[in-house]
Structure 1
């Protein structure tokens, strides 16, 4: 805990000092904290990471990443494979002293989650700008972290951005919630499996179709990499459907 707090304080100060530098240099400096913390936690807590599908990442770089959201791990770890990247996050995070100020130097897309229409407009406008600069835009379509074995309501924002810009979409599935709980500081030993899917070309597709393809691919992978939880979720869904049919 003290190591985390200490490294965060040092990182925040160094990040703020990097403000005058060009974006790419700022990005490299600021994201060192991410790599350091992942390296430390994964070793101390005996967490292994297995990745499949690295060959699916377009060599040209830049695009939209739409990933499963179970924990804080993926918000950090996706930087290993998709760089430079921009996050879509709630604007309140930027108000946090030091931490939020440092994050703001990476030019995230900070949306107002209280207004869905405004958030979508902002995502499309700023997302298009970031994509034009060759960055990855990372979107968690479920909107919030969900427990292992559950499926959140997939939101269309990332798919709408893809339809309007023509940027490829790379779906990502993982089971990080098994080791890195969404509401727990305690980390559990184990293996985090990450699967990176083939890029989805949005040309000729509506946002609804793009979103359907993303959701189907991610959730199909979850059935394989998180079988006990996936089976439990399927059972809950079946029970709910049966109850609804009986009404």
Structure 2
């Protein structure tokens, strides 16, 4: 005989879900202010970047828990990401949840930072934290300067640290991956680093474009083998090959 629905169990889950949302509305802004103000007081302390990285990572995990969002990554993929060195990380971009979900599952021993548009750092309160955490500011109004800035930032990074680049440059609304920008391939060729592709799945279903508050659910993340640029091929050929490797994973969802 098939199991019967359990109204009491469903009701308890709904109450727990609503309670989490209530806590988020009350404590979420306080948590954000705490993360933002810590660098103003501590940015010059020895080892700041290391412990601030872990602080932000834990904050992302707490946020997702309060939103009832789970992130799934296999243990093999976690080990591969934890052992990763000398790479750029390239991910697809489906929703505003993507950065939070990646921060939630990355092992502590693997550090990364994000490349982000310069406008995000215009607010004085955010600039100190972003700069202290190693965020790479990109001036998108000047492609040549942006590429030079990113390349130098990658050259200066320790082997264990990676910069995360969004392959498509922005969120996409398609059923498959959008067209890739060439920036990651150009920087990888210039610096000699490999590319570590990571595919994020289902975050757009939880937080579609134009929505402010996400649904609860599960986001899956898959880590692909390192991608090595082929210096005998053109940049466009490398970009196309990278995109096809990520599409092969994305389209299985």
TM-score, with length taken from structure 1: 0.80
**Equivalent residue in structure 2 for 1:127, among 125, 137, 154:** 154
Cα distance between partner residues in 2 of 1:182 and 1:35: 26
How far is the alpha carbon of 1:99 from its aligned partner?
2.3
What are structure 1's unaligned runs of at least 5 residues?
A: 226-247
Contact 1:148 1:177 in 2 (8 A): no
Tell me which residue corresponds to 2:188: 162
Deviations, residues 42-94 of structure 1 (Å, cap 9, x unaligned): x3333222114334337252411000111222223323426321211111111
From the CA coordinates, give the structure whose radius of gyration is larger.
Answer: 2
State whether residues 128 and 165 of structure 1, in contact with CA within 8 Å, keep that contact through their aligned partners in structure 2.
yes
Q: How many residues align?
A: 222
Aligned pairs (5 A) from 1:97-112:
97-112=124-139
The one-character-per-residue Cα deviations of 1:70-123 (angstroms, maximum 9, x if unpaired) are 122222332342632121111111112322321111222211111122212222
Distance 1:154 1:196, change over 3 A: same
RMSD: 2.3
1:116 to 143, 148, 170: 143
Asked if structure 1 preserves the Cα contact closer than 8 Å seen for 2:70 and 2:218, the reply is: yes
Secondary structure of 1:57's partner? Answer: helix
Distance 1:27 1:142 in 2: 29
1:8 to 22, 26, 32: 32
- For residue 205 of structure 1, report the CA deviation from its aligned partner: 5.2
Q: Which residue of 1 aligns with 2:247?
A: 219
TM-score by length of 2: 0.78
Q: Give the aligned partner of residue 143 of structure 1.
A: 169
1:201 is paired with a residue of what secondary structure?
coil
TM-aligned CA deviation for residue 142 of structure 1? 0.6
Q: Which residue of 1 aligns with 2:78?
A: 54
Cα distance in 2, alignment partners of residues 44 and 140 from structure 1: 26
**In structure 2, distance between residues paired with 1:55 and 1:133:** 17
**Counterpart contact for 2:92–2:167, Cα < 8 Å:** yes
